[in-house]
Amino acid sequence: MSKSRIFWGFNLVLALAIITFACQNEPAKTESKAVVLKEEIASGVFPYGRLSTYGFFSGELNELTPIEEVIPYKPASSLFTDYALKSRFIFFPEGQKATLTSNELDFPQGTILIKNFYYPEDFRQPEDARRIIETRLLINEENGWVAYPYIWNESQTEAILKVVGGEVEVSFTDYDGKDQVINYLVPNKNQCKTCHNKSETLTPIGVKVQHLNNELEFNSGKANQLAHWTELGKLEGFEGENTHPAMINYEDKNLPLDDRAMAYLDINCSHCHSAEGPASTSGLFLTYDQTDPRKLGVNKIPVAAGNGAGTFDFDIVPGKADESIITHRMNSTEVGIAMPELGRTTVHKEGVQLIKDWINSMN
């Protein structure tokens, strides 16, 4: 039954029940009114109004226990989103597989990426009580990838499609034992393309070869993620982990500073700052394999930073992180200055310090 619920059902009866959304046309700041939905049929016509209708998870929905056909994945480094933790899964349509060619992954129509954003009540005990805020789906439809945001209710029993996004107040205790409150912003459907943009086409960020060419713990044991997909018959073209690029986890302080900095910039910045990204005209290219100092911003005058540059002249001033535009923009939440422009309302202190250490290490 689970396969049929989420299988790209072109030959299924296309009978999607009528769904009624409360306040569908207005962003949801809080769950002030109960959202009431009529019964919904898993017809194969997406998107569904409820996350549960897809049948991705077994048991209690908020436990996020995937069914056999839903595979966990994890990029080597994680994009910063206001300190939210994430769990990620991928569903391949039955009988279909991805292909790996020239270190690029091509996913079949019907592939679904599932990304859950949550906060532990206490970050010092991340495995204890948590609150899931949103689940974002990327579905590879007939005309390409489409994003659908789902916001979880306060009782953590369901997540409801909210194409206009929303704002959720989140409280938690941080790693230092301090109480924190964040106004977490769920992007609307169209905003997703702002970051997931490759040559003006909506494209996934975290499921790239260099992010997945590493080990993850599965129910069957620890294995290279791309090798695991291959063994399951979900990928062809993988020629072994030493044949393809691999990134590191920038949070691992035992690894070289340069590698950590490049891993951070790649996952957090390169989806825009690359030759095929929306910031291509900036001349600032922050991909993991970039070696040209000028393209990394070293002694480079920004093309059109405007007020974002502050009083500074260069993207990176070697040895002087506090005089560099990159760290100035990373360390701000002000509209027009803050980079990235979307996806955060707070400053990633650890990320800023990492890039500062990297710049200060330059001769």
How many Cβ atoms are within 10 Å of 310's Cβ, its own excluded?
13
pLDDT digits (tens, 9 = 90+) for 156-174: 999 999 999 999 999 999 9
How many Cβ atoms are within 10 Å of 187's Cβ, its own excluded?
19
How far, in Å, CA of 244 to CA of 121, rounded? 38
Please report, for the chain, the start and end positions of each structural domain, with discontinuous segments joined by +: 51-236, 257-361
Query: Which of 34-48, 226-240, 281-295, 315-329 bottoms out in mean pLDDT, i.e. has the lowest?
Result: 34-48
pLDDT at 14 over 60: no
Confidence bin at 19 (pLDDT 50/70/90): very low
Confidence bin at 308 (pLDDT 50/70/90): confident
How far, in Å, CA of 237 to CA of 223, rounded? 17
pLDDT digits (tens, 9 = 90+) for 90-125: 999 999 999 999 999 999 999 999 999 999 999 999
pLDDT at 324 over 90: yes
pTM exceeds 0.75 for this model: yes
How many Cβ atoms are within 10 Å of 268's Cβ, its own excluded?
27
pLDDT digits (tens, 9 = 90+) for 64-94: 999 999 999 999 999 999 999 999 999 999 9
The position carrying tokens 């620890």 is: 222
